[in-house]
Structures are given as C-alpha cells and as structure tokens.
Amino acid sequence: MNYKVIDKETYYRKGVYRHFTEDCKCSTSMTSRIDVTELADYSRQTGTKFYINFLYLLSKVLNSRDDYKMAYLWQSDELICYDVVHPTQYVFHEDTETCTPVYTEYTENYEEFYRNAINDVEEAKKTREYKLDAVNHPNWFDASFISWLSYDSLNIELPDGYLYFLPIINWGKYREENGRLMMPVSVRMNHAIADGYLVANVFRLLEKEMSEFCKG
C-alpha cells in the first residue's frame, strides 16, 4: 500500500475541501440507470460472469483518477491519495441471510482480476463470518451488488463529521426498458473531495469503459 500526501494549500479543491471538512461536513450521492445491454451480451457470449466483469470495469474507472482514490488520515490530519484502490465485494449466504466481505486486489490485467475474484468468492463461501477488516485494508472501496431489486434510489448515511473519502458503490438488478437492459448504480462520495461533476463522471466513465471492453 503506497500513497502520496496532498498539500492542502495547493490542492485544486482547496476552498471546497475546507468548507466541507469544517463548515458543512456531508456526503453526496447519486443514483442513475446505465445501459448494460452490451456487457450482458458479452458475458453470455464469453461464458463469463456479468457481475465480475462489471466489478472489474468499476475498479478500473475508480483507479483512473486521483479524486476517486483519496483518504483522510485523522491521526496526522493528512489528505492522501492511494496509488491504487481495490474492491471490497460481498458474498451473500442464502442459509443465514448474511454477507461475508471479500477483499479482491485490483489489477488492470482482466484475466488475472477475473480469476482472482472468482477464487476469492469461492473461498468466502466456505465461511459465514463477517470479517470486515478495514484496519488492514485501508485502500479498499465498498462495492456491493443488491441482487434482489432494480431500485430507483439509494442513500448511504455515515455519521456527521466522519471524513470517509473512498467511494461507496452499489448496484442492483438490471431490467429491460424499451429493448435495452438498464441497471441502477449508486455512487456515494464525501463532498469534501467530490462534487456533482465528479460523481456523475463515474457513470460516464463506466459507460465508456463498458463500450471499449465489449468491443475487445
């Protein structure tokens, strides 16, 4: 795990950062439906899992820009940017109706990421423990699939004043709309390091990466 310390005096969002860490500590979230028709077709044609393919593309998007790799070290009052962030995915156990967090390391190599993600999920299926270990996994973002519902909106609330900067991403079932498969995706970020543009940009980048990925 490597990171660089951001100089808060020269940070390009200096004024916004100060306001939303001192005057008005809050987060911002957005839900939008994205077209996943091509990715679903690609997954069927290649015999691969849509869920893992989307997780890979999401991880690639969040590693494409420093704004999505930020964190706050309260011990030293430092704003930092990680070199890489990895997804914390989840396995749902039907018998206990509980989840087990799964730490999968991101690599830009698709085949390697896909293989590791599948193996991580299979290992997690063997336990029923929660095992959330944020202390030893500080540069992991939350990526949770809500498989039971194609929802319209979702909000993630954190305690006021808690400067948690890594993205929290949720997505639900896709459904057919006018002949296309549309999937709800929710992006939550802290307002100190992200505004409407940066949150909306996640959706734009996802659509771009899906299109390029499916073209091969």
Sequential DSSP letters for the chain: --EEEE-TTT-TTHHHHHIIIII---EEEEEEEEE-HHHHHHHHHHT--HHHHHHHHHHHHHTSSGGGSEEEETTTTEEEEES--EEEEEEEETTTTEEEEEE----S-HHHHHHHHHHHHHHHTT-------TTT-TTEEEEEEETT---S-------TT----S-EEEEE--EEETTEEEEEEEEEEETTT--HHHHHHHHHHHHHHHHHHHH-
Q: What is the pLDDT along the chain (216 residues), one digit of tens a residue?
A: 699 999 999 999 999 999 999 999 999 999 999 999 999 999 999 999 999 999 999 999 999 999 999 999 999 999 999 999 999 999 999 999 999 999 999 999 999 999 999 999 999 999 999 988 888 899 999 999 999 999 999 998 887 667 999 999 999 999 999 999 999 999 999 999 999 999 999 999 999 999 999 997
Extents of the domains making up the chain? 3-215
Query: What's the pLDDT at 135?
Result: 86
pTM of the model: 0.96
Fold entry, domain 3-215: Chloramphenicol Acetyltransferase (3.30.559)
Per-residue confidence (pLDDT) for residue 156, from 0 to 100: 87
